[in-house]
Amino acid sequence: MKLHGIKVPHHKNTASSAPIRLPLPSVLTVPMSMHIGRPSEPVVKKGDYVKVGQKIAEASAYVSAPVHSGVSGTVLKIDDILISNGQRVPCIVIEPDGLQEISEEVRPPVVTDHKSFVQAVADSGSVGLGGAGFPTNVKLNVRELSEIEAVVINAAECEPYITSDTRTALDKTEYVFKGIDAFRRYMDIHRFIIGIENNKPEAIARLREFADRDSEVEIHVLPSMYPQGGEKVLVYNTMHRLIPKGSLPLDVGAVVINITTMAFLAEYLETGMPLTERCLTLDGSAVKEPKNVIVPVGTPIRELIESAGGLKSEAKKILYGGPMMGIAVPDLDAPVLKNTNAVTVMDEREAAPPKTTPCINCGACLNHCPLRLDPRAIAKAYKQNSGEDLRALQVDLCMECGCCSYVCPAKRPLVQTNKLAKTVVRLQKEKEKAKEEARS
């Protein structure tokens, strides 16, 4: 079986741009929901003085993550903000004092075995830094370590514009391999596969320098085919294992870790500094000086853009992430999140929605879907509000990569329809569950 995809323009304008640390923002707005799962619970209050690395919110459930301050300063308030999914979530607003005092809490964790390793990862506040935002400790809390055949390190970075993972491969190679050593020591894993697209020759060469000294690390150079970095696609193309519907990579013997997450974990084990800042790519048709930058989590996008050189034309759309799977931000005061690997700023020409025409049943969407879903049939079932048909069409498998919309000659919003169709299925399941509970 061959997993399909599409060719997209690379636009890797910042691949050779070493990250620069921007000046501190005037205010930090740190949301409690920057990860998959339950929002974090604040442990500070208005008027408290906080330091860099101090825990300001704790995990509220098993699938959750603590939050730490990226600045020293005063908590101005705990408020609600609107986030990209349309929900209002609590946030902690901090005014930096510019001193960047390090918290006494910052110290290397004591790690001796798998259990203490997972706890250290949890304490670090780590989530998937490639954009997914899944709490890393949950992924590593495996009951039977013998089930893991390999760790697949995702360095594919297949989205246009984004190069922050590429910079990790180039600038923090040593930490990537220290992270591998930690997995080897505390999880007893002895096969590591780094999947990276062939449009990153300098990063490939740098990773090979280290891999050549480690017989348990493989570099898989993959074709530049979007969405090569999708979890199911990457596992199939590196391990030749197909992840079945409703299953996880672990079910086929894999754990998938983003390369920047791997480097961060190694750095945390060495220094004890939790996840407080992000290296991200600032690019897009409206950006005056595309570059990679380092900012504290919670930095307002408005100040990020101003500090990095501003815009050359009016911004008509701003995305967390890249143009294929990126999520539009509600306004310029939206903050940088833990999983913000890029901010893409589009001008009017790039952001303008295309004119749609009727479907011509060409089948391009089906032929290019990595998971071989049928967006035409899904769109029809969605229009009929048929939850049963949508479930039969397995719309829940859609990873929302956007391949279908990209190749559609009629420019139909297929990926958006798929997303809405998932809501129909979810609501139907909730109704069925409620009926079953009522019968019980």
Encode pLDDT of 94-146 as tens digits. 999 999 999 999 999 999 999 999 999 999 999 999 877 899 999 999 989 99
CA distance 307 to 302: 9
* % the chain with pLDDT above 70: 99
Where is average pLDDT lowest: 40-44, 193-197, 209-213, 434-438? 434-438
Label residue 3 by pLDDT band (50, 70, 90): low
Q: Please state the rounded mean pLDDT for residues 288-315.
A: 96
Label residue 2 by pLDDT band (50, 70, 90): low
Tokens of 137: 């400790």
Label residue 36 by pLDDT band (50, 70, 90): confident
Q: Please state the rounded mean pLDDT for residues 89-96.
A: 96
The pLDDT mean for the chain works out to 95
Domain boundaries, the chain: 114-271, 364-439
Which are the contacts of 392, defined by CB distance < 8 A and separation ≥ 6? none
Mapping DSSP to helix (H, G, I), strand (E, B) and coil, where does residue 266 land?
helix
Which are the contacts of 438, defined by CB distance < 8 A and separation ≥ 6? none
Q: 238: which strand partners? A: none
Whether domain 114-271 has CATH 3.40.225.10: the reply is no
Q: Please state the rounded mean pLDDT for residues 69-82.
A: 95
* % the chain with pLDDT above 90: 90
Q: What is the tens place of the pLDDT at every residue in 343-375? A: 999 999 999 989 999 999 999 999 999 989 999
Q: At what angle do helices 201-211 and 173-187 cross, to 10 degrees?
A: 50
- Strand spans (E) along 106-246: 150-154, 192-197, 217-222
Residue 93: predicted pLDDT: 98
Q: Where do runs of H (alpha helix) occur along 286-333? A: 301-307
Burial of 23 (0-12, 13-18, 19+ CB in 10 A): exposed
Label residue 437 by pLDDT band (50, 70, 90): confident
Residue 423: predicted pLDDT: 93
Per-residue pLDDT at 1 exceeds 70? no
Per-residue pLDDT at 316 exceeds 90? yes
